[in-house]
Amino acid sequence: MNADMIHHTLDLVAERCADPTAVVFTRLFTDSPEMEALFVRDSAGLVRGQMLAVAIESLLDTVTDRSYGANLIQIERVNHEGLGVPPEVFDTFFATVVATFEDLLGPAWTPDMDAAWRALLAGVTA
């Protein structure tokens, strides 16, 4: 996996959208409307923001130190399953994050970025 490309992508996303939380979750709820009910108590969007931040942090760790990211993702899969959230929802969420980043970057999204993110997702969804 190309950690430099992942970091570069995140830098470009941050230049275009300081906080992509609303964009990511709008897309998630449009593509998977059944997921919106899982956030009914998050009226201020704080849980969504925290969830996206932890997801990105975990993904970054997965491509760099590998000290906790992959394990945290697996632990959260189990924790969320206990709340009635099927494990495959994580795969949907991560794919939505990447698709949103691709949309935000438009023509700046490169084949190298695409390959780096696909490899990263393959690693965390396996």
17, 35 in Cβ contact below 8 A?
A: no
Q: How far is CA 91 from the centre of its chain?
A: 9
- Per cent of the chain over pLDDT 70 is 98
**pLDDT on residue 1:** 55
71-122 residue pLDDT tens: 888 888 888 888 878 888 878 999 999 999 999 999 999 999 999 999 999 9
All domains in the chain, ordered by first residue: 3-125 (1.10.490.10)
**Rounded-to-integer distance, Cα 40 and Cα 45, Å:** 10
pTM of the model: 0.90
Q: What is the mean pLDDT of the chain?
A: 90
φ/ψ of residue 38, rounded to 5 = -70, -15
For 38-51, how does the pLDDT look when each residue is reduced to its tens digit (9 = 90+)? 888 898 989 999 99
